[in-house]
Amino acid sequence: MIEFRDVHASYDADIKVLDGVSFQIQDGEFVAFVGTNGAGKSTTMRLMNGLLKPDAGVVLIDGVPTTQLKTSQIARQVGFLFQNPDSQICSNTVREELLFGFKALGEVGPDAEARVDGVIKEFGFDPDDDPFLLNRGTRQLLALASIVVLAPPVVILDEPTTGLDYKECVKVMDIIRRLHEAGTTIVMVCHDMEVVGDFAKRVVVMSQGGVVDDGPTFDVLRNPQTLTRASLIPPQIVDISLALPLVDERLATSPLAFANTTDEMQAAIAQEVC
Amino acid sequence: MNGFLEYVPGDSLLHRLNPVTKIVFAVLFAITCFCTSNIFFLCGMLICGIIMAASCQMLRPVLGLMKAVLAFSVILAVLLLLTSPSGDVLVELPWGYIGTGSIMAAVTTIVRLEAAAIPLFLTFYVTKMTDLSNSVVKVLHVPYKYAFTFASTVHFIPVFMNDMKSIMEAQTARGVEFDQGGIVNKIRLMVPLCVPLLVSSVRKTNSAAIAAEVRGFNLRTRESGYKQYPFSAVDLVVMLIAVALLVAVILVP
């Protein structure tokens, strides 16, 4: 479990980035952090994996403050996928890149080799490929694979779909969905509300260094005050269902006005027609 | 907060000087420091530099950069100490000795490098990079591509420093312990990171070059710049002071 208790953080003494943030993330959750640029989302992620220590308050990982943990201990618990895979990739072959994390943690051995082989097969990589010559989407997949191979109980994803085309985006998110179904806690920063609506079970909305809303995905995405405050546009289906009662007041109580997904909308239309 | 050698807006005398004056003054000031070994004169130059930094509220960043110069100059000073035997013998070495003259030479080297560096740093802190490059093209008739190359080099230093920081953070998040072990361990851990830094540098440089090309880089001439850089009486006085300092150290032993 990850817990923030009244966390304050800053990069510069004069500029506060987080101002009294508190929340808990239970094991196995899929949480999306949303909000405008500068809201404090990425800082929150950096606090979760110990890259940044709080100025005040406490960040706990399984009850232990991050200030009392070594970086390598946190890395074993919390994997972090950076927005730019080129910051992460530093080896000459895909295989070496996947083994890099084990080397850093001093865990190279037959088990590690077997895990690397498994991930290479699962992701469909050529182990001898030069990572720097792969396309952007495949480099992002490799960066994700190098986190997945270490099997951390928590994976943090900082805008995992930025710069990817639709096909690459679906591939990355499918893998993340499988990870979550296997029991991994997923914490994701994302600006794409369609992705948030499709995958996240809980949404934390941040604005100006604080949490302005926190709850089940569609409760948050249907809250007009939250949407206005954090300058968010909900997924298209939610947007349509929210707009329908404005077109005709009689639709306010119709299932159409409560559809959150394409499937729910189709079912609601079928019900209306019948 | 401003980055490495990044312009800080202000209205001090140094901010208002013509960019060419600042460059000429900084270069002559540095040459003056290298033309004398008089420790008292060099200390005077160092104090002048610090006063100049304080006059434009740049003391803190300049002191920070002076620390970096100190690290470099101490290495040179130690080499001088070990390889330039002169003066009264203080310590015998298998290949010579360390004397009073060696110590004086080492101290002089440190003070000289520190004093020479301050106006060069200040020039960047009190002048916009575009003004620096445009003024040397307009006034000194330096070809634009050379001025652009210089400006881009300085511009990319903080960019690459940020890249290195991001790369180190990404590896730290994977369990690499940069804060553990000695200097040899740190170097061993950092060498592999030069590869992603090099790759990202080449990608960024390539993008910058393409962006410059499509915006008509090769069409740019001396007349392309709209802004004029006239000299004032203060500029002439400042340049005269720099020339006088240089002449003084050449004529006075």
pLDDT single digits (tens) A193-224: 889 998 999 999 999 899 999 999 999 988 88
CB A131 within 8 A of CB A89: yes
> Do residues A254 and A190 both lie within one domain?
no
Counted domains in chain A:
2
> Do residues A174 and A248 both lie within one domain?
no
Q: Following CA atoms A203, A206, A212, A215 in sequence, which dihedral angle do they give, to the nearest 10 degrees?
A: 10
pLDDT digits (tens, 9 = 90+) for A214-253: 999 999 988 888 888 888 888 888 888 888 888 888 888 8
3-class SS string, B10-65: CCCHHHHCCHHHHHHHHHHHHHHHHCCCCHHHHHHHHHHHHHHHHHCCCHHHHHHH
Give the β-pairing of A15-25 and B89-93: unpaired
> Do residues A128 and A251 both lie within one domain?
no
**pLDDT bucket at B27, cuts 50 / 70 / 90:** very high
**pLDDT bucket at B152, cuts 50 / 70 / 90:** confident
Give chain A's end-to-end CA distance (angstroms, integer).
47
**pLDDT bucket at B179, cuts 50 / 70 / 90:** low
* Cβ atoms within 10 Å of A261's Cβ, excluding its own: 15
Residue B102 lies in a domain: yes
Extract the tokens encoding A227: 């949407």
**Contact list, A82 vs chain B (CB under 8 Å):** 166, 169-170, 173
Range list of H helices, chain B: 13-16, 19-34, 39-55, 59-83, 100-125, 129-138, 144-172, 183-190, 194-214, 233-251
Residue B104 lies in a domain: yes
Q: What is the pLDDT of residue B125?
A: 92
Q: Domain residues for A13?
A: 2-233
CA distance A199 to chain B (A): 25
> Do residues A210 and A153 both lie within one domain?
yes
- A205 forms beta bridges with A34, A213
> Do residues A86 and A109 both lie within one domain?
yes
CA angle B122, B242, B67 (to 5 degrees): 35
Counted domains in chain B:
2
> Do residues A71 and A197 both lie within one domain?
yes
Q: What is the CATH number of the domain that holds A111?
A: 3.40.50.300
Residue B202 lies in a domain: yes
How far is residue A246 CA from its own chain's centroid? Answer: 33
Range list of H helices, chain A: 41-48, 71-77, 94-104, 110-123, 136-148, 166-181, 193-199, 217-221, 224-229, 236-247, 262-273
**Contact list, A97 vs chain B (CB under 8 Å):** none
Q: What is the pLDDT of residue A43?
A: 92
**Contact list, B166 vs chain A (CB under 8 Å):** 82, 84, 87
> Do residues B166 and B194 both lie within one domain?
yes
Which chain A residues have any C-beta within 8 angstroms of a chain B C-beta?
Answer: 12, 49, 51, 70-72, 75-76, 79-80, 82, 84, 86-92, 100-101, 104-105, 132, 146-147, 150
Which of these, A216, A264, A217, A224, lies nearest to A242 by C-alpha position? A224
Q: Kindly give, in sequence order, each residue whose CB lies less than 8 Å from that of residue A234, ignoring residues fewer than 6 positions away.
A: A193, A197, A221, A222, A227, A242
**Contact list, A155 vs chain B (CB under 8 Å):** none
> Do residues B47 and B120 both lie within one domain?
yes
Residue B133 lies in a domain: no
Residue B71 lies in a domain: yes
> Do residues B110 and B26 both lie within one domain?
yes
> Do residues A69 and A194 both lie within one domain?
yes
pLDDT digits (tens, 9 = 90+) for A89-121: 888 899 999 998 888 888 888 999 999 999 999
Using a 10 angstrom Cβ sphere, with 0-12 exposed, 13-18 middle and 19 or more buried, the burial of residue A181 is: exposed
Q: Kindly give, in sequence order, each residue whose CB lies less than 8 Å from that of residue A32, ignoring residues fewer than 6 positions away.
A: A188, A189, A190, A196, A199, A200, A202, A203, A204, A217
pLDDT digits (tens, 9 = 90+) for A69-80: 887 778 888 999
Q: Domain residues for B156?
A: 140-224
Residue B2 lies in a domain: no
Helix (H) or strand (E) holding A19: strand A15-25
> Do residues A186 and A273 both lie within one domain?
no
pLDDT digits (tens, 9 = 90+) for B209-227: 899 889 888 888 888 888 8
> Do residues A14 and A149 both lie within one domain?
yes
Residue B7 lies in a domain: no
Task: State residue B93 phi and psi, 5-degree precision.
Answer: -120, 155
pLDDT digits (tens, 9 = 90+) for A152-204: 999 999 988 888 888 888 888 999 999 999 999 999 999 888 899 989 999 99
> Do residues A105 and A198 both lie within one domain?
yes
CA dist B28 and B26 (Å) reads 6
Q: What is the pLDDT of residue B241?
A: 94
**pLDDT bucket at B181, cuts 50 / 70 / 90:** low
Name the closest residue on chain B to residue A69, using Cα atoms: B175
Q: Average pLDDT over chain A, rounded to whole? A: 89
CA distance B207 to chain A (A): 15
* Rg, Å, chain B Cα set: 22
Give the β-pairing of A210-216 and A56-61: unpaired
CA dist B191 and B199 (Å) reads 14
> Do residues A263 and A157 both lie within one domain?
no
> Do residues B114 and B238 both lie within one domain?
yes
Q: Is the ipTM of this complex over 0.95?
A: no
Q: Residue B174 and residue A75: Cβ atoms within 8 Å?
A: yes
Percent of chain A residues past pLDDT 90, beyond the cut: 48
- A202 forms beta bridges with A31, A216
Q: Average pLDDT over chain B, rounded to whole? A: 88
- Across the beta sheet with A2-12, the strand order is A15-25, A2-12, A56-61, A64-65
> Do residues B170 and B49 both lie within one domain?
no
